[in-house]
Chain A
Amino acid sequence: MIESPIKDEQKVFVTGNEVIAWAALAAEADIMYGYPITPQNEIMHYWTRLAPKYGKKFLQTEDELSAGFTTLGGILAGRKAFSATAGPGTILFQESISMAEMMRIPMVVVVQQRGGPSTATVIYSQQEVNMVTFGGNGEGWRVVYSTSTHQELYDYTIKAFNTAWKYRFPTFILGDGYQAKMRESLVMYKPSARGIELVKPYTVLGGPGVPGRDRLAVHLRNTFSVEEELYEAVMPAQEEYEQMAVEVVEHDSQHTEGAEIIIIAHGVVSRAAIAAMNRLRNKGIKAGYFRPITLRPFPEQELRKAAGHCSNFLLVESALGQLARLVKEALFNVPVERFDTIYKPGVGITAEELVEAIEKNRKVEH
Chain B
Amino acid sequence: MAKRLAMPKSWHVESKPHKFCPGCGHPLVLKMLGEVIDELDIQERLIFGCDIGCSLLAWDFFDVDSIQTHHGRTTPVMVGIKRANPELLCIAYMGDGAGYAIGSQHLVNSAYRNEKVMVLLANNTNYAMTGGQMSPTTLLGQKTETSPYGRSQEETGNPTLGPEMIAAIAGPGAYVARGTVANMKQLKRFIKKAMENQLAGNGFSFVEALTTCPTNWRTNARQTWGFLEEEMAAYFKVGEFVTADGKREAK
Contact = CB atoms under 8 A, between A and B. Distances in A.
Q: Do chains A and B touch in the complex (CB under 8 A)?
A: yes
Interface of A: 34-38, 41-42, 44-45, 48-49, 52, 58-60, 62-64, 88, 118-119
Interface in B115-157: 127, 129-131, 133-134, 136, 145-149, 156
Q: What is the predominant secondary structure among interface residues of chain B facing chain A? A: loop
A52 B72 CA distance: 31
Given A63-B72, A118-B70, A44 B133 contact: yes
A52 B148 CA distance: 11
State which size class the interface on B falls in.
Answer: 20 to 34
18 contacts: A36-B133, A38-B129, A38-B130, A38-B131, A41-B131, A41-B133, A45-B145, A49-B148, A52-B149, A60-B134, A62-B101, A62-B102, A63-B71, A63-B72, A63-B102, A88-B52, A119-B52, A119-B56
A37 B130 contact: yes
Contacts, number: 56
Interface of B: 52, 56, 68, 70-72, 97, 101-102, 104, 127, 129-131, 133-134, 136, 145-149, 156
A36 B148 CA distance: 15
Contacts of A62: 101-102, 104, 136
Contacts of B68: 119
Q: What is the predominant secondary structure among interface residues of chain A facing chain B? A: mixed
A35 B101 CA distance: 10
A99 B71 CA distance: 23
A48 B52 contact: no
A160 B130 CA distance: 27
B133 A119 contact: no
A59 B147 CA distance: 10
A63 B101 contact: yes
Contacts of A36: 97, 127, 130-131, 133, 146
Contact of A48 (B56, B102, B146): B146
A343 to B, nearest CB: 25
A87 B68 CA distance: 16
Contacts of B130: 36-38, 41
Given A38-B130, A88-B71, A60 B102 contact: no
